[in-house]
Amino acid sequence: MDRRQFTKLALFASFLAPLGNTIKAAESDEQRKNLAKAASLKGHKAMMDAPGVKMVGNEKIAMLLYPGFYAPDLINPQFLFNAMMGAEVCLISPTDDLTPVECGGFSIVPTHRRSECPDKLDVLFVPGGATGTLEAMKNKPFIDFIKTKAADSKYITSVCTGSLLLGKAGLLKGKKATSHWTTLQLLQEFGAIPVKQRVVWDGNLITGGGVTAGIDFGLEVVAALRGKTYAQTIQLEAEYDPAPPYDSGSPEKADPFVRDNLKGIFAPLVENFRLAI
């Protein structure tokens, strides 16, 4: 073998070496993907075989939008509902178009027009808010829509001041219910029994407290629809393991200075809510 042949062979070998490494890496990646797929299938099968778990369903969930609602009231449970395989989660426009709905510095695009809202809902959900909720209380077509859809819904639900809208629709009479702590006692004006609790059940009525209670609320609804194990799985997926830096999340725990001043700040809004009942 002369020097020229040796050089050609060396160059050819140097070309093949990285190609061989690439093939080995691809095979290794393929093996890892197959193992990951097998683990996924095993996990899905184990969940599907677990007692009390409904892995796939076809629930129809309508979450009503209106200008000025609090986005977290809706987004927190929406994440949990959307994690249920097979469920249809509809964000319903307050009108019969798909115009984005303002919700505090940004907007959410409805997925369905009001006329497209499914019948015989598994969950009818109403979020809360502040001045937006106050205006919604004065919107008779919107309130009538809530009342109409509630008539054939399996569960009638709300978070935060959304319960005021349910009350305005005549759906709280004689029922235990909750709301944001600043508006909780207003529920009596609708004939309801106010309960200071994160989530309150009374028959097919499920109400959640202020804003963050929407996560607890959503998990309880998921458990009712799909089983406790399914709800626990979604909780872990969301890594919902609250450890707030301050223990000031309720009027009972908050510093009196914070509580009393915040109550004063909300006083005009609460009075306007009262006048709109």
Catalytic positions, written as ranges: 160
Provide the strand spans (E) within the chain. 60-64, 88-92, 101-102, 107-108, 123-126, 155-159, 176-177, 193-194, 199-202, 205-208
Rounded distance, CA 212 to CA 249, Å? Answer: 10
Q: Token pair 């892995």 is at which residue?
A: 55
Q: Which residues pair with 176 in a beta bridge?
A: 193
For Cα atoms 175, 166, 231, give the angle at the middle one, nearest 5 degrees. Answer: 80
Rounded distance, CA 168 to CA 179, Å? Answer: 14
φ, ψ at 160 (rounded to 5°): 60, -135
Rounded distance, CA 168 to CA 128, Å? Answer: 13
Other CB atoms within a 10 A radius of the CB of residue 108 amount to 17
Q: Which residues pair with 124 in a beta bridge?
A: 62, 156
